[in-house]
Amino acid sequence: MVAQAEVSEAEIDRVFHALATATRRDILRRTISEEQSVSTLAGDYDMSFAAVQKHVAVLEAAGLIIKRAEGRERLVRANPEMIARARALLARYEEMWRARVSRLDELLLEDNERD
């Protein structure tokens, strides 16, 4: 399977929305190392099972986790492909800003040399 390189605007919006909440970031962090049931995840938060399910649904809609059924349980694990795509997007933003800061440094240096 070939990973899709570009992330659409809608995907970007869903990823950043999903990562905007500490609980969802924690769920993602916990499911990177191992697959976990939604019930196990819910047991560690001071909120209802339904609230945790909603957080999982947001992460799933963003493609950051994959959910599957095993008997009566719903198991979730992080989706490394989408995480890699989001990381690549952030790296491009970082590269763009570093280039802008470097250009600003050059302009300031040129300005100081004229004085």
Domains of the chain: residue spans and CATH: 9-114 (1.10.10.10)
Task: Name the phi and psi angles at 36, rounded to 5.
Answer: -135, 155
Neighbours of 87 (CB within 10 A): 11
- Which tokens hold the place of 56? 């999982």
CA angle (33 as vertex; 95, 3 as ends), nearest 5: 50
Average pLDDT of every residue of the chain = 91
Quick one: which of 53, 105, 115, 63 has its CA closest to 84? Answer: 63
Quickly count: other Cβ atoms within 10 Å of residue 102's Cβ: 10
Sign of CA dihedral 31, 33, 66, 14: positive
Of 11-15, 21-25, 32-36, 46-50, the least confident: 11-15
pLDDT band at 3 (very low <50, low <70, confident <90, very high): very low
Tell whether pTM > 0.85. no
